[in-house]
């Protein structure tokens, strides 16, 4: 990604310990990159390394063609020289400074007589006019977050770093702040790196996601591509994707197929280059599982028709989660369906159903044995 390397942020950091790191990623100007992964995956450490608050044993951090950190060359610019805007999880506001003074702290690059007006301008940009004299304890969680964001941007940063910025507010405020960030970033032509545990938040806000585990960057792509085409079972499980199975590639009279139990599944992509007899791991998004109506098979979708037993049916309001089990595989299959549709089809635990596994949705990931399930909590 030469554009990001020339004008944006380029990170390549590696060390065996004490905090393992093996991360390479880029973020272009105007782009928002979300770093996602379980607790202890190295997200905040990477943010601190970009900001100059932590120096890894090896690697390089570069912004707009300038080296901020280069272990081999002995370069390690101070946080002040890097000019990074950083919003911490707890906002890190000075408790005895009012909102205006908290922002003015970041305006040291301006003459003293200009700082007050500029601080008030930034408060107006985050819709906090009239609250200049409020102390942090007199502000709501959402208002404190806006002050922290205004202070970070007041520095005229070259990169904006957000460390779980919405985790300390309620869900309603969180959604409102997410919308405000989405609107604000349209006016920012700088790289933005967001650390979050919230996969929905990452998917909604990010142009690209970088999935981390144990300090390793496992996959970096658009949210849609990462969720639909995880590169490994490890990535799929870290993203809480169900429906990861193993099968064997076979040559048949109809062409290359994926043998899964008694079925020979048609696959649109990723199978022709795999040698027959190879055991592969494959993934199927929930959206590519089509339930056939009882007694009235769907006419339009007959591909990859399989039968399964309903092991679990969980109703959560208007959506029901269906878990299917198969005699040949210990791994269940899970998908959501509208509750009214599940009732119309008479779905119940122990019932047998037919489903189509759409060939366009089957994603062949690798030829390795399935990895051990990841048990870390993403919440």
For residues 166 and 51, state if they share a domain.
yes
| DSSP H or E segment with residue 115 | helix 112-125
Per-residue model confidence (pLDDT) at position 287: 93
Residue 264: how many other CB atoms lie within 10 Å: 16
For residues 191 and 223, state if they share a domain.
yes
Range of the domain at 261: 244-366
Q: Look up the CATH number of the domain holding residue 355.
A: 2.40.50.100
Domain count, the chain: 2
For residues 136 and 227, state if they share a domain.
yes
Question: Closest Cα to residue 89, out of 175, 168, 205, 186?
Answer: 168
Q: Return the structure tokens found at 370.
A: 């399935």
Distance in angstroms (rounded) separating the CA atoms of residues 364 and 271: 7
Does residue 26 contact residue 34 with C-beta atoms inside 8 Å?
A: no
Q: Look up the CATH number of the domain holding residue 122.
A: 3.40.50.300
| Domain annotation covers residue 379 | no
Distance in angstroms (rounded) separating the CA atoms of residues 204 and 214: 25
For residues 290 and 327, state if they share a domain.
yes
Low-confidence ranges of the chain (pLDDT < 50): 1-5, 369-379
Per-residue model confidence (pLDDT) at position 254: 84
Within 8 A by CB and 6+ apart from 230, the residues are: 219, 236, 239, 241, 283, 363, 365
| DSSP H or E segment with residue 276 | none
Per-residue model confidence (pLDDT) at position 376: 39
For residues 215 and 70, state if they share a domain.
yes
Per-residue model confidence (pLDDT) at position 379: 33
Per-residue model confidence (pLDDT) at position 298: 55
| Domain annotation covers residue 377 | no
In angstroms, the Cα distances linking 251 to 129, 269, 275, 277, 306 are 69, 15, 9, 9, 20
Per-residue model confidence (pLDDT) at position 203: 92
Dihedral pair phi/psi, residue 331, rounded to 5°? -80, 120
Per-residue model confidence (pLDDT) at position 4: 45
pTM score, whole prediction: 0.85
């Amino acid at each position: 990604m030469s554009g990001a390397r020339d004008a944006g942020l380029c990170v390549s950091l590696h060390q065996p310990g004490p905090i393992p790191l093996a991360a390479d990623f880029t973020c272009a100007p105007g782009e928002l990159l979300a770093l996602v992964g379980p607790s202890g995956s190295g997200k905040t450490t990477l943010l601190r390394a970009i900001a100059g608050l932590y120096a890894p044993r090896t690697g390089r951090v570069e912004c707009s063609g300038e080296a901020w950190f280069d272990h081999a060359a002995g370069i390690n610019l101070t946080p002040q020289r890097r000019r990074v805007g950083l919003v911490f999880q707890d906002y890190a506001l000075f408790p005895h400074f009012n909102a205006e003074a908290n922002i003015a702290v970041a305006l040291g690059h301006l003459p003293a007589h200009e700082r007050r007006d500029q601080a008030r301008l930034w408060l107006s940009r985050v819709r906090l006019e009239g609250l200049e004299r409020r102390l942090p304890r007199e502000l709501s969680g959402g208002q404190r977050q806006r002050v922290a964001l205004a202070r970070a941007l007041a520095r005229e940063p070259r990169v904006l770093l957000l460390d779980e910025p919405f985790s300390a507010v309620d869900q309603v405020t969180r959604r409102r702040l997410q919308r405000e960030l989405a609107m604000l970033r349209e006016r920012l032509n700088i790289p933005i790196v967001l650390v979050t545990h919230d996969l929905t938040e990452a998917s909604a806000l990010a142009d690209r996601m970088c999935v981390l585990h144990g300090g390793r960057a496992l996959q970096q792509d658009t949210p849609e591509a990462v969720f639909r085409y995880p590169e490994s079972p490890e990535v799929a499980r870290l993203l809480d994707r169900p429906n990861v199975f193993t099968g064997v590639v076979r040559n048949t009279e109809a062409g290359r197929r994926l043998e899964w139990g008694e079925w020979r599944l048609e696959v649109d992509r990723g199978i022709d280059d795999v040698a027959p007899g190879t055991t592969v791991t494959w993934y199927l998004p929930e959206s590519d599982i089509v339930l056939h109506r009882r007694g009235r098979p769907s006419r339009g979708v007959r591909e990859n028709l399989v039968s399964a037993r309903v092991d679990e049916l969980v109703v959560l309001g208007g959506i029901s989660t269906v878990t299917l089990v198969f005699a040949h595989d210990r791994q269940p299959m899970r998908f959501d369906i509208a509750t009214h549709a599940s009732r119309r089809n008479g779905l119940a635990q122990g019932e047998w159903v037919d489903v189509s596994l759409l060939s366009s949705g089957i994603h062949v990931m690798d030829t390795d044995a399935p990895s051990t399930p990841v048990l870390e909590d993403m919440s």
